[in-house]
Structure 1
Amino acid sequence: MLLKFNIKNFQVFNSEVELNLEADLRTKKFRSNIVMSAQGNILKAAALYGPNNTGKTCLLNAVRAYRAALLNKPLDFYPNLFTGSDVFKLGAVFLWNQKRYEYFFQYDTKSKIFIEEEFSHISFDRHGNESKEVFFHRNTETKTANSSNDKLKEVINLSSKDNILINTLDAAEFPLLQEAKEALKGFAESIAILSMQSLQPYKTIEMLKEPESPEAKQIVELIKKSDLDIDDFKYDGKLLEAIPLKMDDETVRAKNIQNKEKSIDILKLTSTHRGKELPSIVFDSLGTKKIVSLAGYLVEWLNKGGCLFIDELDSGIHFKLSRAIVSLFNSSLNDRAQMIFSTHDASLLDIKTLFRKEQIWFTDRVEDKVYLYPLSCFTAEKSGIRTDSELYERYVKGFLGALPDPSLIDVLIDIKNGKRDE
């Protein structure tokens, strides 16, 4: 699970920013929103607010880039365009197998080489004292290397600059590198990054093909409780034989079908409305189809654990349903999964019944600089925001920043007065 994530010189982010998901235990409220551990107390959910084009999606892209590097996938991402540097830096502090690790790297997008990387094990004793063991560190520009293992230290600079150490050296020969590899790859594989704009139901279909499995039954219950008109939901391999279904090109576009062959499985998703089985893709609303697409991920991550990042959670979903999903992750029954999501749904700005203050984050832009900051930086002494405060009015009035100020009516006034550009 993720404790901290750092970004520097990546896409819209120029100066370094940090998303901190470590709970502040000085706040006693909503302890169920935290996974407690001697090596770090982790927030189960975090909401990210801000105007368009201030970094919410870029933050998720940074996580995507970090994950790609760990899993030996291409790094097709760009740095901030205004700093003059081709090098971006990404880093995370995370828990894996009850241990706290930290790993960061710097990547040159022009030369396609990793300039620097470091992996460390961090631990706290029962008195809260921190100790740090650097498993390995290297800088390919200065040609320096360090490791708590002398044998590993000797070979670090012999590895390729084109990839990170866990993907270039034989980890089996070095116990510290093997532990780092298992932790980093395991952590990366526990991460999913989704966009509600383009999410398809393939994960849900995969699980519904085993209708008697506990996961499939959980998905069906989740979908039934999300739509008041659905009595049942299933994957029916024989549906197209019973109901001939033809779609012209206009219908294909309207239903956002990207691949006709791959969409055959989607056509076999069946929802039961008042006793009648119908093809979900034709008869269910956009919001219901988005819940169907999301359901497989929600069930899998809540069962196996990990970090689920969702861009625009509220897209097409009723605000009460968004709230129910957040509550699902904040529940005391969840002890292994996190959800970090961007949203414009101001109804979720609720620290009276839903969130701790440090679970709400904002992005904002001032001239060419993008900021990332938590609600918890607005202290009761300085801002008057307490753990039982109403946030909606403060947010819409701009007291928390991160709020656009569009004056679109001016466009029509200019047009009417003949001031539009030719």
Structure 2
Amino acid sequence: MLVEFSVENYRSFKERQTLSMVASEDEAMLSSNSFPMPRTKDLHLLTSAVIYGANASGKSNLLRAMQILQNIVVSSASRMQKGDKFDVQPFLLDAECQKRPTDLEVIFIHDKIRYEYGVSLDENRVYEEWLLAYPKKRAQTWFSRTYKPDNPDFQADDGYEWSFGAGLKGEKERIKNFVRSNSLFLSHAAQNNHPQLTKLFDWFEENLNMISPLISPYFSGLYTADRCEEDKEFCQKVVNLLIQADLDISDIKIEMRLFPLASEGKKAINNTPFPYWEQFKDMEIPDIKIIHRTMDSEQIVTLNLEDESEGTKRLFELAEPWLSVLEDGEILMIDELDRSLHPVLSTELAKMFNNPDINKNQAQLIFTTHDTSLLDGEIFRPDQIWFTEKDKSMTKLYSLHEFNPCEDESLQKGYLKGRYGAIPFVGGLNI
């Protein structure tokens, strides 16, 4: 369960900005669009959050920052080597910010325990890393490390001051010796099977799911195809989703075939020899067939997925993560949900997370969109609607809840009129 995520000095984010999934005291749709936070009677967490904003306002950077934190946790010990750089970029439009590290912090709940984990780093090194746990409602500092190379009162071979709390059991000192300036203690602890920290590492690796426009729909669709091939019951759920979306589809069929380059030999791509052909030799991938029935008979017509509409391909791409996250109670982050989807379909997909009969395991959805039809008080509470806006070239993140909209207010009309900000200031286009 995600409680909140904060980012500072990353790309368009100069000052600290926080996306909170904690529900306000508003009682509207509380039972459907939120769920009780474990170990407390008063607080609820939201099932979903939608983020609006003009192009280049920072919407994608927010999700990208969350993904960057996940990637660093998962890969810093196992895949990075000494001298490798982190994929972080500070706010470049301020000379002082260019010299300071990026701060990323997440508060989450796992196995009914709340944790606060954060890092401060630039592309070359970690400056701070810390983990707080609340197993008994009060904060326990399980570990922290701080880089202090210029402090005359501090002497250490690696330049770090370390602290371990009594709440963190098991090996610590031995694992600490594996940590590099460009790796995380949490990552090395999991690599060494630390019983407490491996569970938190697994939360980062398994519970955060990201779909980005940068990922080819073809490769994303392979996840759905693979799952359908392995799990016939899940495959039927995908078929039902496609049928309910009114896509004139009756079934899907998955067959395995050799990777195209492997079957065709070392062919050239854009007249350049493909250098990695041997890696794919004899590799099998799913061949996805979409089955239709003719209008006037029971005749079956089979089409390749690539011959279907962009909307059909997009929905097939989303099917596996969407259904799996709802099934497993995980977190799904999507940049540009509305890409190639009809507004009605985007709305129905989002509403699945706000339906306790479907979202039985407290899954959460966070997505960006330009689709203003979702700005509807019957779909989202004000605290679920967020905006990004540039202020002096830096991104500001804020919630519709701050505007205290009236119950019968037209949110879509108010947004398009600029009442909440976060829209482009276009004075007409002329060439």
TM range (shorter): 0.7 to 0.9
Task: Name the counterpart of 1:354.
Answer: 379
Amino acid at match of 1:77: V
Q: Deviations over 1:342-383 (max 9, x none)?
A: 0000000011x111111100000022221000111112xxxx
Closer/same/farther in 2, CA of residues 51 and 298 from structure 1, 3 Å limit: same
Unmatched segments (≥5 aa) in structure 2: 81-85, 152-159, 258-267, 270-278
Task: Name the counterpart of 1:377.
Answer: 402
Report whether the alignment pairs 1:167 with 2:181: no
Q: Is the 8 A contact 1:201 1:266 kept in 2?
A: no
Amino acid at match of 1:104: G
Q: Is the 8 A contact 2:74 2:204 kept in 1?
A: no
CA distance in 2, matches of 1:146, 1:260: 47
Closer/same/farther in 2, CA of residues 233 and 119 from structure 1, 3 Å limit: same
1:123, CA displacement in angstroms?
Answer: 5.5
Give the total of aligned pairs. Answer: 379
Report whether the alignment pairs 1:137 with 2:148: no
Aligned-partner SS, 1:209: helix
1:28, CA displacement in angstroms?
Answer: 3.9
Task: Name the counterpart of 1:24.
Answer: 24
Task: Name the counterpart of 2:104.
Answer: 90
Q: Is the 8 A contact 2:63 2:335 kept in 1?
A: yes
CA distance in 2, matches of 1:332, 1:154: 41
Closer/same/farther in 2, CA of residues 270 and 104 from structure 1, 3 Å limit: same
Q: Give matches, 1:7-22, under 5 Å.
A: 7-22=7-22
1:87, CA displacement in angstroms?
Answer: 1.0
CA distance in 2, matches of 1:148, 1:94: 19
Task: Name the counterpart of 1:190.
Answer: 207
Task: Name the counterpart of 2:120.
Answer: 106
Report whether the alignment pairs 1:52 with 2:55: yes
Report whether the alignment pairs 1:397 with 2:417: yes
1:196, CA displacement in angstroms?
Answer: 4.4
Q: Deviations over 1:307-358 (max 9, x none)?
A: 110010001100000000011111112133111000000000011x111111
Task: Name the counterpart of 2:341.
Answer: 317
Closer/same/farther in 2, CA of residues 325 and 60 from structure 1, 3 Å limit: same
Aligned-partner SS, 1:116: strand
1:7, CA displacement in angstroms?
Answer: 0.2
Counting aligned pairs with the same residue, the percent is 26
Closer/same/farther in 2, CA of residues 18 and 150 from structure 1, 3 Å limit: closer
Q: Is the 8 A contact 2:256 2:287 kept in 1?
A: no
Aligned-partner SS, 1:205: helix
Unmatched segments (≥5 aa) in structure 1: 125-129, 239-248, 251-258, 380-384, 413-422
Q: Deviations over 1:81-113 (max 9, x none)?
A: 12222410101000111111110001121xx21
CA distance in 2, matches of 1:409, 1:260: 48
Q: Is the 8 A contact 1:220 1:234 kept in 2?
A: no
Q: Is the 8 A contact 2:141 2:167 kept in 1?
A: no
Candidates 239, 247, 250, aligned match of 1:231: 250
Q: Give matches, 1:223-302, under 5 Å.
A: 223-237=242-256, 265=285, 267-274=287-294, 275-302=299-326
1:234, CA displacement in angstroms?
Answer: 2.6
CA RMSD of aligned residues (A): 3.1
CA distance in 2, matches of 1:221, 1:310: 22
Aligned-partner SS, 1:84: helix
CA distance in 2, matches of 1:8, 1:15: 5
Moved more, 307-316 or 21-30: 21-30
Q: Is the 8 A contact 1:363 1:373 kept in 2?
A: yes
Task: Name the counterpart of 2:276.
Answer: none
Aligned-partner SS, 1:399: coil
Closer/same/farther in 2, CA of residues 262 and 15 from structure 1, 3 Å limit: farther
Amino acid at match of 1:19: L
1:266, CA displacement in angstroms?
Answer: 5.7
Task: Name the counterpart of 1:115.
Answer: 127
Q: Is the 8 A contact 2:386 2:397 kept in 1?
A: yes
Q: Deviations over 1:277-320 (max 9, x none)?
A: 32233542110111011111111111112111001000110000
Closer/same/farther in 2, CA of residues 151 and 31 from structure 1, 3 Å limit: closer
Q: Is the 8 A contact 1:211 1:234 kept in 2?
A: no
CA distance in 1, matches of 2:5, 2:168: 30
Q: Is the 8 A contact 1:224 1:233 kept in 2?
A: no
Amino acid at match of 2:57: T
Closer/same/farther in 2, CA of residues 260 and 226 from structure 1, 3 Å limit: farther
Task: Name the counterpart of 1:244.
Answer: none
Aligned-partner SS, 2:24: coil
TM-score (norm 2): 0.80
Aligned-partner SS, 2:337: coil
Amino acid at match of 1:365: K
